[in-house]
Structure formats: C-alpha cells, structure tokens
Amino acid sequence: MVDTHILTGQGNRLPRKDNRGKIAFQGERGAYSEAAAYKYFGPSTELLPLRTLSEVFHAVEEREVRSAIVPVENSLEGSVSETYDLLRTTNVKVRGEVNLRIVHCLIARPNVALKDVKIVYSHPQALGQTRQFIEKRHLTPQPTYDTAGSVMMLKEASKSVAAIASAHAAEIYGMKVLKKGIEDNHNNYTRFFILSLRDAPKTGSDKTSIIFSAKHIPGSLYRILGEFAKRNLNLTKIESRPTRRTPWEYNFYLDFEGHRTDKKCVDALKQVQKKTVFLKVIGSYPKAEL
C-alpha cells in the first residue's frame, strides 16, 4: 500500500497575483517540466512549481501566471491522460510545444550503494519508462506525484529507498546518482504543451490540436477524417479517450499540420463541425523540433 502523501505530494498552494509574470509547471524544482520550460522560454525565465496539473491549468485560467507548461505525451509510455482531460474541460489554449529528451537516473542518499536499494519512488510515467530496469533488479516501485519530488522524499527515507529522476534533481537536493540512463529505450522524449489564454499567430510551420466527439453512427469517424484527407492536411496524431458520460463512447484528440486560420483548415473544420456532436479547437502553434 502506498501512502497517500506519496501519491499526492505536499507541493505549493495556488499562486498569488505577484506570480503573474511567471511560468507555472507541475512538480518540484528539478522536474523534467522545469527543464522543458527553460528549453522553451530560456534559462532566465521565472518559474512557479505547483503541486498538480489541475492547479497549473487553474492558474492560467485565472490569469495568475502568464503561461504554463505541461507534459502531453511520451514516446515510450504514450499520452498523459490528465492533461488531455483538462484541455477538454478548461478554457486554456495551446500556443506552443517543445520536445525534451528524457534521461532517467537512479538516485539515492550519499551513503547508499546500489545493492542497498529495494524500493524506488517516482512519477508513474517515469516508473513505466524504466520498467525493465526495475524488474531486472527486483525493485518495488512506489508511485509519487513528481520525479523531483521523489528525490526530496529521500531525505526522510531509509537506505533501501531510491528515486528515479533527472541528474539535475539529484544535484539540487544533494543526492547521489547511482546509475544514469536507466530508461528502457534511449529514444525517450516527452512532448510538452505551452498553455495560455490565447493560441499563437500563424508562422507558416504550424500545427493545430482539436477535440471532437463523433456521431454514434457507422462510418462517422471515417467521414470526419476524410475532410482532412481531401484537403491534403497531414494528421500527426489521433487518440481516443472515454467521454466519461456514456460507457464505450469516446472523444477523439487530433493534431494536424496547418494553422486554424489557413483557408484549407477553416474549410476542413467547418465540415468537421457538421459531422460531430462536439468540436473544440484547443490551439494552433508552431511545430517543435526534436
């Protein structure tokens, strides 16, 4: 049984008005979201760590921060479902994306050796990305609210406990890296969305993200996707998520190349709207590079 505080963490309260110039992210200092924020906004950016993704979205909606960064999918473990659910239920927009190479480290207190470790703390996504390493060494995984937060917890943990996080997190909290690069596949990237109340203007190299629910009739999804195909709009992602209203009914999350103001995109979205029960454009933004 995992302690509740391990799962939820003890993070920060919601931001006050004096944080309006900062960029919010979920987790503690040293989290991968922090590294992604510095990659996108620059090393001098003022950041605000928050406990949960819900708090991050709320901070943007209430104009308590100028922007935020959230993980949306990993190349090994797939999508971050909570991020997609919050994109559907809130009024925030996606105005950018950034890809970050993820290098996981096994981290422990300075007096701990690799042979001492029996239990490993980390965020569920990180535990999934290092599953082979964990199983090979017969370690017991315990999910936490954050990778860097799991390193913080080592200060009060026994010698049998280690954490999986970045080397930077180990440096911040005075811990030791026992082994570096423990991810199951080194082609390990996480894609992050930049959130704001408005999306980005057209650059000529853009993507658009939408959410829709298809009508519950044969061929409805086929006909929706055909609107993009006939206009030669390249789809870069499609995924389904339960609607949470009716069993076995789904919302679809779709990314395609182009800006929502491009004529081809405008025409496609008009036709898609006629064929859907629900359609939400969550933003157009410049395409990121690896």
- The 10s digit of each residue's pLDDT in 83-120 is 999 999 999 999 999 999 999 999 999 999 999 999 99
What's the alpha-carbon Rg for the chain, to the nearest Å?
20
Q: pLDDT category, 17, cuts 50, 70, 90?
A: low
Q: pLDDT category, 16, cuts 50, 70, 90?
A: low
pLDDT at 13 over 90: no
pLDDT tens-digit map of 247-278: 778 899 999 999 999 999 999 999 999 999 99
For residues 210 and 254, give the distance between their C-alpha atoms in angstroms, rounded to a whole number.
5
Catalytic (active-site) positions:
190, 192
pLDDT tens-digit map of 136-145: 999 999 999 9
Q: By three-state DSSP, how is residue 204 classified?
A: coil
Which pLDDT does position 8 carry in this prediction? 41
pLDDT at 1 over 90: no
Which pLDDT does position 215 carry in this prediction? 84
Which pLDDT does position 119 carry in this prediction? 98
Structure tokens at 272: 């898609």
Is residue 109 within 8 A of residue 159, CB to CB? The reply is yes
C-beta atoms surrounding 44 within 10 Å: 6
pTM of the model: 0.90
Which domains does the chain show, CATH number per domain?
1-198 (3.40.190.10), 206-286 (3.30.70.260)
Q: What sections of the chain are H helices per DSSP?
A: 4-8, 32-41, 53-61, 81-89, 124-129, 131-136, 147-153, 167-172, 220-229, 263-274
Q: Which residues pair with 280 in a beta bridge?
A: 211
Which pLDDT does position 247 carry in this prediction? 76
User: pLDDT over 70 for what percent of the chain?
Assistant: 94
Whose tokens are 């109340």? That residue is 197
pLDDT at 7 over 50: no
For residues 145 and 51, give the distance between their C-alpha atoms in angstroms, rounded to a whole number.
8
pLDDT tens-digit map of 24-56: 999 999 999 999 999 999 999 999 999 999 999
